[in-house]
Structure 1
Amino acid sequence: MIDNVELTLSPSELENSGDMKEDVYTLLKRMIMKREFTPNERLDAYEIAKQLNTSRTPVRDALNKLDAEGFIKTFPRKGTFVTGIYKQDLIHLFQYREMNELYALELGFEKLCVQTAKFELEIAKWDEMLKAEEYDGTLIMESDVLFHKHIVHSTDNPIMINLFENVNCHVHIARGYYLQDTQRMLEASQEHKAILNNLLDKNKAGAKAALKQHLDNTLDGLLKMIAIYKIF
């Protein structure tokens, strides 16, 4: 585990919703997901409160919530650290994603076949961004999340949707490591198009096979990145 690095937090980054605890929670969670706090980095509640110009109470409350969700881990007499995502964690996460998303596609297939415009929009965003010499990896990631969210939301099942959101947050952290791999982004775009084409053809088996292939390829890419960076 590494020592806490200098933070660059500013009160202006808070949402200012009127609920300081929720605003601090949202900010810290967003920073973890964008890897502005890196895996295994130590978080200091006092330092965070000082930089955000707030008391330690909303910071402690936010950290407790993040701990309960698995984004951080507090060790007695050692401190609070951002949770790392390891090889076995990713395998387990993607086993769940496959179970959830393939069943969601099965359950919501008829609805998805008439909502293909949503997928076409996200694919068009990817194609447009990838034309540029440099692209914003965060926007690519957000578009990818929306593509998969459409599949799960088609079920109208609040439990499946909520579980997907929770799991996807953890995948989101690791996914950031290959966002600048243009080749992988091009491959992922083609995989999304394969899912869409099968929906347009009303080919359920084909759409499920394309989705499974995409999830398998994404997991494989993430595992390779973990092996390269060796920072988890």
Structure 2
Amino acid sequence: MRENAVDTISSNELGNVGDTKEKIYHVLKRMIMKREFTPNERLDAYEIANKLGVSRTPVRDALNMLDGEGFIKTMPRKGTFVAGIYRDDLVQIFQYREMIELFCLDSGFSNLVQAVPAFEQIIDNWDREIQKKEYEGSIIMESDVQIHKLIVQSAGNPRIVKSYESLNCHVQTARGYYLQDRERIDASQAEHKAILHAIVHNDKDLASRMLKEHLNQTLNSLIRMIDVFKVF
């Protein structure tokens, strides 16, 4: 981690068009999700505003948005801090994911069958990236996100998609910690291929079992990471 991630923020990231508050929100959210800020790191609105060359008002508004989504926490008379993700958080998030993803796979399975070419393309992108001597973790993470997004979108319910994506951002923050674990990356890809195999063969029950197993393995991996390295 960088000693002071705020020092890496540049006003160039904001551009000249669009709502300043929204742009600051997206810059800070991306940094949190990529773990450029450490859990419980203090965020100073004045310091961020100075680095971006803006007033404190849009920075405070952006921080309020992040607070409302649970990415940061504001403590009276102490300041604003990046939120950590703990064992109970992960268990609750993955219970939600399992409920949503299994429902969407069941109700939208015929759409998933039609989406097999897109699923295969994501798998191929993952395989190509991981074959590199120095693979890019963010590409692996994005491939994982795309696979699960396909599953959720198959149900054709925009409200479910919006709700799922909001909470799943927290999973991405945690997921970054096992991107250096090649064994888990390979296992995760094998699990994705097992889900795809079941979809290709039009076996909804098997696809559901493989998805449930994949989510359980991912949760267990993240919990082990917390217990061993105390990263959150």
Cα RMSD for the two superposed structures = 1.3
Secondary structure of the structure 1 residue equivalent to 2:7: coil
Q: CA deviation at 1:231?
A: 2.9
Q: CA deviation at 1:16?
A: 4.1
Alpha carbons of structure 1 residues 153 and 17: separation in structure 2 relative to 1, 3 Å: farther
Percent identical pairs in the alignment equals 57
- Give the residue type in structure 2 aligned to 1:147: I
Q: CA deviation at 1:227?
A: 1.4
Match of 1:172 in 2: 172
Q: CA deviation at 1:98?
A: 0.2
Match of 2:86 in 1: 86
Q: Structure 1: where are the runs of 5+ without partners?
A: none
Match of 1:140 in 2: 140
Partner deviation per Cα, 1:66-86 (whole Å, 9 max, x = no partner)? 001111000000000011000
TM-score (structure 1 length as normaliser): 0.96
Equivalent residues in 2 for 1:22-171, closer than 5 Å:
22-171=22-171
Partner deviation per Cα, 1:43-102 (whole Å, 9 max, x = no partner)? 000000000011101100000000011110000000000110000100000000000000
Partner deviation per Cα, 1:159-210 (whole Å, 9 max, x = no partner)? 1101110111001100000001111111111100000010011000000000
Q: CA deviation at 1:114?
A: 1.2
Q: CA deviation at 1:225?
A: 1.0
Aligned length: 230
- Give the residue type in structure 2 aligned to 1:130: I
Q: Structure 2: where are the runs of 5+ without partners?
A: none
Is this contact kept in 2: 1:4–1:42, CA < 8 A? Answer: no
TM-score (structure 2 length as normaliser): 0.96
Q: CA deviation at 1:4?
A: 7.0
Runs (4 or more) in structure 1 with deviation over 4 Å come to: 3-6
Is this contact kept in 2: 1:40–1:82, CA < 8 A? Answer: yes
- Give the residue type in structure 2 aligned to 1:213: E
Secondary structure of the structure 2 residue equivalent to 1:80: strand
Secondary structure of the structure 2 residue equivalent to 1:49: helix
